[in-house]
Amino acid sequence: MPFDFDSVWKDDLLGRRSDAAFLVTFLNNRVHERRAAGRPASYVLNLDAEWGRGKSFFLKRLADHLREDTYLVAEVNAWKDDHAEDPLLSVMAAVDEVVASHATFSDQAKSAWDRAKRAGAEVALATAKGAGWHLLKKLVGDGAEAGLAAWEASGELGIDSAVDAAVDELKPLVDERAAALLAGFKETQRSIGAFRSSLSAFLGTMPSATNRAPLFILVDELDRCRPTYAISLIERMKHLFDIDDVIFVVATDTAQLQHAIRSVYGQGFDSRRYLTKFFDRTYTFTDPDLSDLMRVLISSYALDQKKVSVPPFTDIVSYLSGTFFRYGLSLREVEQCYDLLRSVVTTWASAAPLELAVLVPMIVGYYRNIEPSLTHEYQRMLEEIEPSRAGLHRVQLYKSTGRDSLEDYSCSVDDLFGIFVSMAAGPLPSVYEHQGSPSTFWVKERLSQEFQAAHQRTHTIDGPRSLMHRYGDAIRTAGRLTP
C-alpha cells in the first residue's frame, strides 16, 4: 500500500512538508554514518522556532509522516508531564503506550521492553533516593540535630572548638551516609546499564514490514517546563538514550530555553554552549511568507467576520498581510498586532463593523508607541513609519466593468487612512456633502452604512461623530491585556 503523505500534510499552510522530508532523510543517514564509523547510532535534534511558528503542528504531522513510513514514534508533551519528578518516566510512558498499541510485536520484543521498563524504573527510583541529599539535614537525617546540639553546648569553648565538637559528632554519620551514597551510585550505574542494554535488545527486534528502526521520540513544549525539569530531561536524553537507533527531535524556543537554564545556573552561565553538549544539531525553519503566516493565524485564531469590514476587491488575508508589509513589521510584530486586533474585535459591541482600513494602521501606530487618534497629526506620524514602503501596498477600490468609461482605481494604505480622517472629522450626516475620487465615494459609503447601522440615520446634520473616534480607546484598553 503506498504511503499517503498527501493526507498527512493536507493542512500544511507553511510548506513544512519539505522540512519533514529533509529531516527524515538527514536523521536516518546520519545514524547510518555513525554506525559505520563505530560511534553510537543515535541523534538528538533541536528544532528551534519562536512561539507561533508552528512547532507543535510540525511535530504532530512529522509523527504521522513517520508512522506512515512504518517507523515507531513516541510523542512526549514535556509541559504536560513536568509535574513528574523524573522525566525518564514520561519518556518511558510514551514509548510504552506505542508498544502496547502494536499487536505485531513478537513475544521476544515485548519481553525486552518489559525488562527495559523495569530497569528504567530502578534508575528513576535510585535517582529519587539521592535527589534530596543536598543539605546537611537530608544528608545525615536525625544526626543533624545532634551535631547542632554539640555546636551549641560548646559555645564558650570558642568557634574552633565548637566546629571540632560538631564534626566529631557528625563524622560517623557522614561516613555512613557517604558509604551509602557510593553504594547508591553504583546501583544507579548498574540500573542505567541494564536499561540501556534492555532497550537496545528491544530495538534489535524491531525491523519488520510494519515497524522498523530507528525509534523516533518527539518532544514538544520543553521550553514551557520548569527550568529544573527541562534540564533534567535533556540530560536524560543524552545519558540514558545514547543508544543505537534512538532519535530525539526536540521542539524548543531555544532563546527561551537558554533563559530558563540561566535562571538555574546564574545569569553569567553560558547556556548556549551548555545546550551544544546535548543537541547534536539545531534546525531552524525559514521565515514563512507573510501571507502564509496570516492564513495560519486566521485559520488558528479566527476573527468574527461580521464585526469587521475590509476594502472591496480584497480578502482579509491580503489586506492584513499587505498593510503589515507596508509598515515593515517583523513576523513576531505581526503576531502581536494581530493578537491585539483580535482582542479589539472580540470586545466590540456596536452594530457597525470595525473598519480595518482605519483600525489596523492605528494598531500598528500603537505598537510603535504612537498614541492612537483619528487626526491628521496621527496620520503624519504613521506615514513616517518605513516611509520608503509608502505606496508599496495599494488597495483597489474600483474595478472597471468594461461597460463604463471609468478605469480601475486603487489608493495607498496611507491615503485611504487620510481620507477616513478627513471625512470622519465632522458629524456623520455631513458625509453626504463630500465629492471626489472613487476612494472618497467608498469611504462615504462606509460612513453612511455606519450611520444607518448605529443610528438608523435619525440624527440631524449636527448629529453624532463616527464610532472610529472610539478606536483609540478600544486599542488602549485591549492593549492592557498581556500574555
| Residue pair 237/43 in contact by the 8 Å Cβ criterion | no
Parse the chain into domains and list their residue ranges. Answer: 5-105+205-284, 290-478
Give the tens place of pLDDT for each residue, 436-483.
677 888 898 898 888 888 777 565 556 688 999 999 999 999 999 987
Query: What beta strand segments (E) does 293-446 contain?
Result: 308-309, 354-355, 394-398, 409-412
The structure's pTM equals 0.70
Is the model's pLDDT at 260 over the cut of 60? yes
Give the residue from 124, 252, 113 showing the smallest Cα distance to 192. Answer: 124
Least confident of 131-135, 221-225, 364-368, 463-467: 131-135
**Residues 178-215: pLDDT tens digits?**
565 556 556 666 767 787 788 888 888 766 656 677 89
With a cut of 70, say whether residue 433 has pLDDT above it. Answer: no
Distance CA 80, CA 194 (A): 28
CATH topology of domain 5-105+205-284: Rossmann fold (3.40.50)
Predicted pLDDT at 141: 45
Q: What is the pLDDT of residue 182?
A: 54
pLDDT at 133 over 50: no
> What DSSP line would sit under 214-257, residue for residue?
EEEEEEE-GGGS-HHHHHHHHHHHHHH---TTEEEEEEE-HHHH
Q: In this model, does residue 140 exceed pLDDT 70?
A: no
Sign of CA dihedral 229, 234, 239, 245: positive
What residues contact 456, with CB distance under 8 A and at least 6 apart? none
Residue 126 contacts residue 191 (beta carbons within 8 Å): yes
Which pLDDT value is given to residue 74? 92
Q: Please, how many CA atoms are within 13 Å of residue 337, restricted to the half-sphere of its CB?
A: 27
Q: How confident is the model at residue 157 (pLDDT cuts 50, 70, 90)?
A: very low
Tell me the three cell numbers of residue 470: 472610539
Burial of 28 (0-12, 13-18, 19+ CB in 10 A): middle
Residue 294 confidence class, pLDDT cut points 50, 70, 90: very high
Average pLDDT over residues 234-238: 86
What is the 3-class SS of 328-353, one letter each residue?
A: CCCHHHHHHHHHHHHHHHHHCCCCCC
Q: CB within 8 A of 45, min separation 6: which ones? A: 23, 27, 247, 248, 249, 250, 279, 280, 281, 282, 283
Query: How confident is the model over 261-285, as pLDDT tens digits?
Result: 999 999 999 999 999 999 999 999 9
